[in-house]
């Protein structure tokens, strides 16, 4: 058991990467060999074919002309590996993708099904997690999380306006909430956020369908879907305008912002999904090639915490 040493009163100082991982375990419990967040998931494989206009935005190798293999892991929220797919706490869903580049390296994107993040900074996220962890059934009202949400209206919106249960992991849009800078061969740059838009369209369960859905219906559904139908997403870059906040993931950019199609993801095979495979598979949002650079400082903090979480689940 990794000790949970952080408290809600300790958030005035910059959290260490280890304290951030501890805060995730404080919120969701520590489960042997499980991820600290998005613990319940399923892995598929396929390919990514870049769109003709993608190379005008960036010199990144996977966004030029060559189709590359991809590994995608869909997931539920929280670090609880057996969380039911049917309850609100399993949202937002996650999509993480690894592009396998021709030179043997890789680049990753991590996204979820809500356009935005509950807070602006890593330390605020730690405070949010600690408040969840301190708000068990015996906590007096207002609980720490009730107090936190009252003081953080964006976080309250995040918690209270998640999408209803979807028909499939394949029928949700996913959003990369952190910003990156794309630079093309001419040296021209643009600030972007990623969006994954399902070609099947967004589809949600009715109240009656939800009643009959099992706790693991999403993994069961996608296993059957991929047997007969390739799963496809359009990968888009949403382009920031000068007044858009690039360093605050809690502020979604307006839907009117220009979007550029980067390419098409096609998933046509279920991965083995062994325990060993899931433990070892890591998606690092700062694993980026030439032509893409970090903008949001939260990505630096995430990159420092992820290896600790990966080590804990081995």
Annotated catalytic residues are 38
Inter-residue contact 6 to 294 (CB < 8 Å): no
288, 180 Cβ separation under 8 angstroms: yes
**Which residues does 25 contact at the CB level (< 8 Å), separation at least 6?**
2, 4, 36, 79
Q: Are 91 and 112 in contact (CB under 8 A)?
A: no
CA distance 80 to 154: 24
d(CA 110, CA 305): 14
Diameter of the chain measured on Cα atoms:
60
Q: Are 265 and 233 in contact (CB under 8 A)?
A: yes
Cis check: omega of the bond before 142, within 30 degrees of 0:
yes
Q: Is the peptide bond before 92 cis (omega within 30 degrees of 0)?
A: yes
């Amino acid at each position: 058991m990794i000790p949970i040493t952080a408290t809600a009163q300790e958030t005035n100082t910059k959290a260490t990467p280890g304290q951030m991982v501890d805060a995730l375990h404080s919120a969701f419990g520590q489960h042997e060999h499980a991820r600290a967040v998005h613990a319940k998931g399923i892995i598929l494989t396929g390919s990514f074919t870049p769109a003709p206009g993608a190379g005008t935005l960036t010199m990144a190798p996977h966004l030029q002309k060559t189709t590359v293999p991809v590994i995608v892991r869909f997931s539920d929220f929280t670090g609880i590996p057996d969380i039911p797919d049917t309850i609100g706490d399993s949202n937002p869903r996650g999509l993480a993708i690894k592009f396998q580049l021709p030179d043997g390296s890789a680049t990753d994107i991590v996204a979820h099904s809500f356009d935005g993040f509950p807070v602006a900074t890593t330390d605020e996220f730690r405070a949010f997690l600690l408040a969840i962890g301190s708000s068990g059934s015996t906590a007096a009202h207002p609980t720490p999380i009730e107090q936190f949400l009252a003081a953080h209206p964006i976080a309250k919106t995040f918690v209270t306006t998640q999408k209803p249960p979807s028909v499939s992991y394949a029928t949700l849009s996913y959003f990369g909430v952190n910003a990156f800078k794309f630079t093309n061969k001419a040296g021209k740059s643009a600030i972007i956020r990623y969006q994954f838009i399902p070609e099947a369209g967004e589809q949600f369960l009715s109240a009656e369908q939800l009643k009959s859905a099992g706790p693991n219906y999403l993994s069961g559904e996608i296993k059957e879907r991929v047997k007969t139908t390739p799963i496809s997403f359009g990968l888009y870059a949403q382009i920031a305008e000068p007044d858009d906040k690039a360093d605050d993931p809690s502020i979604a950019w307006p839907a009117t912002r220009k979007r550029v199609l980067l390419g098409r993801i096609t998933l046509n095979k279920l991965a083995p999904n062994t325990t060993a495979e899931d433990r070892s598979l890591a998606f690092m949002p700062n694993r980026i090639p030439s032509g893409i650079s970090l903008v949001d400082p939260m990505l630096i903090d995430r990159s420092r915490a992820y290896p600790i979480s990966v080590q804990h689940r081995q």
